[in-house]
Structure 1
Amino acid sequence: MQSFGKSRILIVGCGDIGLRIAKQLARSHRVYALTSQKTRFQELRAVGAIPILGDLDKPDSLWRLSGLAQTVIHLAPPQNTGHRDCRTRNLLRILAQGSDTVGRVIYVSTTGVYGDHAGAKVSEVTPVKPQSERAKRRVDAENCLRLWAPAHGVALTILRVPGIYAADRLPVDRIQAGTPALNPAEDAYSNHIQSDDLARLVCAAVYHGKPQRVINACDGGETKMGDYFDEVADAFGLERPPRLPAEQLEKIVSPMLWSFMRESRRVTNTRLAELKTPLRYPSVAEFLKTISKNP
C-alpha cells in the first residue's frame, strides 16, 4: 500500500501492545518500530510497521530516530536497576535533535507510581508516591518527559496503566500451581486493563490526547487481587487459590510478586472520556465471559 504523504508515527518498545497498536495505526499512518533485534523485522513488517534497528541502552545506535516521525509512542520500560530511567533520557536526547519534527509524544507509564494507598481511591491529581525502584524509574521518566515536552513545543500524553490482561495474559499457570493469595481482610485492590482496550486507548491518544495531560488507562474496577484470581479460576474450571495471612505469604512468593500484592489502591478513570473510546471490556468479568472455560 502506498504510504507516502502519510503522517509518520514511531513506536518505541514494540512488544505485544506495540504490535497491536502498529496494526491499527498502519492503516492510516506510516508506522516505524524501533527494535534492537533484527530477528523481529519480519514480525514487525507483518503488522505493517517499518523496522528501525536501535537500542535504547546504546545512544549511538539511535541516530536514525532524529527527525523521523511527528508522533512518538513510547512503550519501552526503563532498565532494571537504579532510580533513573536512562532509556527515556537517551530517547529524548535524540528526539531533541529533530524537535521541529516531533509534535506529540504518548508515554505509557504505570499506576505503580501512586504507591500504596491502603485501598483508597487515587486519581490523576493524586501525588505520586512510588515505593519500588521500578516505580521510581517510571516517575523519573514521567518527570523528564514533562520538562522536555513543553520546552520543545511537544504535546505530551501520559497514560498510567495497571495490570494488563488478555486471553494469554491471565494468571492461569499461577492458579494451577496452587500459589496462595492473601486473606480477604488483608488483600489488596488490583486494577486492570484488557490489552486490546489499551491499544485502542493509545491510538485514541494520537488524535484526542490533550497536551501535557495524565490519564489513568484502566477499567475503573474495584476488585481485590484474590477475587481476581478466583474469577479466573472459576472461568477455567480450576480450584480457587488458597488464602494465607500476609506474614506467611510474603515468605513464599517472589519479591516481585510481593511488591504488587502489598500495594492497594483503587484507580479511577474519569479522564478516559477525553479519549472518546469506550472500553470493550469494562471489567475482567466481562472479558472472561468471552473466553472458553477449557483452555
Structure 2
Amino acid sequence: MPTLLSIGHGYSARALAALLLERGWRVIGTTRNAEKAELLRSEGVEPLIWNGGDLPLDEATHLLTSVAPGAEGDPVLAAQHDAIAAAQHLEWVGYLSTVGVYGDHAGDWVDEATPLTPSTKRGQARVEAEAAWGALAAAHNLPLHIFRLAGIYGPGRGPFEKVKGGTARRIIKEGQVFSRIHVEDIAQVLLASIEHPDPGAVYNVCDDDPAPPQDVIAYAAELLSLPLPPEVPFDQADLSPMARSFYAESKRVRNDKIKRELGVTLRYPDYRSGLRAILDQAG
C-alpha cells in the first residue's frame, strides 16, 4: 500500500491527505500534541506524536515535510538527517517552502529561475533549509521536490472572521501585491507531483492573480454584504512584527510550471473564486 509519512502534518498536508485517503493510501501524520493527534485520527490519518525521535521511514513510500526551519536550521534534518539519507526506498520526497525565498521585487514578476534574495530572516532560513534538503538529496540520490507556496487561504483560514468581527482593516501600502493559493490547489499540485515525479524539480504554487491585500479584504466584505473595512496607511498600522515583515516584500509570482509540467488546472485561479467557494461551503 502506498504510504505517505507527513512530518508536521498541518493545514496543507491535511488537504493532501484527504485526496490520498480516498485513493486508498495510508497516511501517517506527525504532530506534537495529543489533541491534534485525535483530530488527525478522526480524519483517517494515523497520528504520531513526534518530538525528534525515530520516524517510521521504513513504512513509508513517500515523505512530505511541512516543518518550518528554526534559528538553528531545519529541525527534521537536525533530528533525522542520517535516517532520511538511508531511506533509499522512498519514491518521492516533498519539501514545503515559501515564495519568501525570492525576497522583494517591487511588484515585479518572479519564477523558479529567479535568484533567491530574501530580505527577511524567515526567508533566509528557508533558503538555507532548501539548500540543506537539496544537498542531502544530491548526496544520497533522494527524489526531492520543492514547493514554494504563496500565501495560503481556505476553509477556516481567510479574511471572513475578521470582517465579520469588525476587526478587519484595509492596510494601504503603495504598490504592494501578494500572491496567494487556495489550500485545495496546493493539495492537487502535490498529488500531481506524486503521480508524475521529477526529482530535483522546484515549483511555485500560487494562483493567477497577485493582488493588493486591501482588495481581498474589500471583496470579502462585499460577499458578506458588510461595510467596507476602514483604510489604514501602512506606516500607521498596528501590525505584529510577523505581519509587518510580509509587507517588506512585494512581488508577483508566476505559476506556469505547475500547469506546463504537472498539467494542473487551478480550481481557484484567483482570490474571488476562492473566497466565494469558502463562503458557499460554509453554508
Quick check: TM above 0.5? yes
| Identity across matched positions, percent | 31
Q: Calculate the aligned-residue CA RMSD, in Å.
A: 2.2
Q: Is residue 53 of structure 1 aligned with residue 44 of structure 2?
A: no
Q: Is residue 24 of structure 1 aligned with residue 19 of structure 2?
A: yes
Cα deviations by residue, 1:50-74 (Å, 9 ceiling, x for unpaired): 222312xx3xx2x133423121011
Cα distance in 2 for residues equivalent to 1:293 and 1:66: 36
Match of 1:121 among 109, 121, 129: 109
Cα distance in 2 for residues equivalent to 1:256 and 1:12: 24
- Shift in Å, 1:109: 0.6
Q: State the one-letter code of the partner of 1:182.
A: I
Q: Is residue 263 of structure 1 aligned with residue 255 of structure 2?
A: no
Cα distance in 1 for residues equivalent to 2:120 and 2:37: 34
Other-structure match for 1:236 = 224
State TM-score, norm by structure 1.
Answer: 0.86
Superposed counterparts of 1:78-227, under 5 Å: 78-79=69-70, 82=71, 84-96=73-85, 98-175=86-163, 176-183=166-173, 186-227=174-215
- Shift in Å, 1:42: 3.0
In structure 2, the CA distance between the partners of 1:293 and 1:244, relative to structure 1 (3 Å rule), is farther
Runs of 4+ that moved beyond 6 A: none
SS in 1 for 2:58: coil
Q: Which runs of 5+ in 1 are unaligned?
A: 1-5
Q: Which runs of 5+ in 2 are unaligned?
A: none
Match of 2:265 among 271, 275, 278: 278
- Shift in Å, 1:189: 0.6
Other-structure match for 1:11 = 6
- Shift in Å, 1:173: 4.0
Q: Is the 8 A contact 2:105 2:250 kept in 1?
A: yes
State TM-score, norm by structure 2.
Answer: 0.89
Cα distance in 1 for residues equivalent to 2:138 and 2:244: 37
In structure 2, the CA distance between the partners of 1:85 and 1:41, relative to structure 1 (3 Å rule), is closer
In structure 2, the CA distance between the partners of 1:123 and 1:37, relative to structure 1 (3 Å rule), is same
Cα distance in 2 for residues equivalent to 1:104 and 1:16: 20
Q: Is residue 37 of structure 1 aligned with residue 26 of structure 2?
A: no
**How many residues are paired up?**
278
Other-structure match for 1:253 = 239
Cα deviations by residue, 1:195-218 (Å, 9 ceiling, x for unpaired): 111112112211123110110011
In structure 2, the CA distance between the partners of 1:34 and 1:17, relative to structure 1 (3 Å rule), is same
Other-structure match for 1:3 = none
Cα deviations by residue, 1:187-241 (Å, 9 ceiling, x for unpaired): 4111111111111211221112311011001112121111122112211223223
Cα distance in 1 for residues equivalent to 2:162 and 2:36: 29
Cα distance in 2 for residues equivalent to 1:73 and 1:292: 30
